[in-house]
Amino acid sequence: MYGFDNQSLTRVRPEERRVAREAVSRVLKGQSQAEVAAWMTAEGHSGTMGGAWNSMTLGRFLDNPAIAGLEPDPGTGELRETGREALITPEEFRQLQQRPGRKGSVRSGQAREADNDYLLAGGLTVCDACRTPMTGGRTGAGTPSYRCQTSRGGCGKVRINASAFEDHVAEHILGELMRPGARAALDKAREQMAAEAAELREQAAGLEKSRAELGESYAAGELTRAAFASADRSVTERVKAARARLRFLEQAVEVPVGGVEDLARWWEHAPFPSKRGLAVLTLERVRVRPARARGVRAVDDRVELDWRTAVAAA
């Protein structure tokens, strides 16, 4: 399968993952599958068997849950995380399936607002009141925002307008990167994250091996069903956590800004995954405080940026 290095879909090809991520970003931004397929072919990116991409082959690829590390649950048919390495996130896959006008996609059957790309979600932004990761979502009026959700263990007291918040953070990221020595610090941070990513890949591979050994022990009658199920759940959760952290790191490691001179101009036209990767590379986390009063829209005094040490020291 395109993007993977083996039949069991446990190892990805980094270059093909970058192509897949940009293809997904283009579709989510409104380009048709035919336009994206034409772009892939024009850039010299062929399918696994060497054929040119077209709308149909790209559609089949984008509708395969394996690209997001998902598979149907045998009992319920609902998609569940496998813990395997993936090309895109589960959230991006669900956005693809629900995007209006995508031929061949699985539709929800309900009218809905077009999905919004939340640049600073996925664990990068946290509620300063309770330190719970904030998620992207729309207000009752349909405005994209970030919020601390009680359903995810948060206090539910913090919400901030997505557009104003992201513009504020982007301005500070670009300002920080204009400082002398920032590029060298950026490369150092990337090296550190690449090293951590390599360790996580080894850890995930070891956990996958442990999971396979558990299955063999169960098949040989050395484990009861209850003991096997408990151990398997534990290993699966650890694999998922390692893969989630790995996806987070890979966004930063793979940012293509090596030869970019004017970052502000680059940012204006860069695809979403590249912008997000640069944010992950420069920021440890972003903390959002509650508004001073209901209806206050200013964000400057509510946002605290925790820079990665290497970048902040530049």
Please tell me the pTM assigned to this model. 0.56
pLDDT score for 260: 67
pLDDT score for 9: 79
pLDDT exceeds cutoff 60 at 110:
no
What integer is the mean pLDDT of 103-112? 40
pLDDT score for 102: 57
List, for residues 78-101, the tens digit of each pLDDT value: 788 888 889 999 888 988 887 765
pLDDT score for 125: 95
85 Cβ contact list (under 8 Å, min separation 6) = 9, 10, 11, 12, 69, 201, 204, 243, 246
pLDDT exceeds cutoff 70 at 311:
no
Listing DSSP states for 50-118 in one string gives SPPP-HHHHHHHHT-GGGGTEEE-TTT--EEE-----SS-HHHHHHHHH-TT-TT----SS--PPP---
Q: Following CA atoms 246, 88, 20, 261 in sequence, which dihedral angle do they give, to the nearest 10 degrees?
A: -60
List, for residues 177-216, the tens digit of each pLDDT value: 888 877 788 888 888 888 988 999 899 889 888 988 988 9
292 Cβ contact list (under 8 Å, min separation 6) = 301
Token pair for 49: 């068997």
Buried b (16+ CB within 10 A) or exposed e, 72-107: eeeeeeebbbbbbbbbbbbebbbbbbbbeebeebee
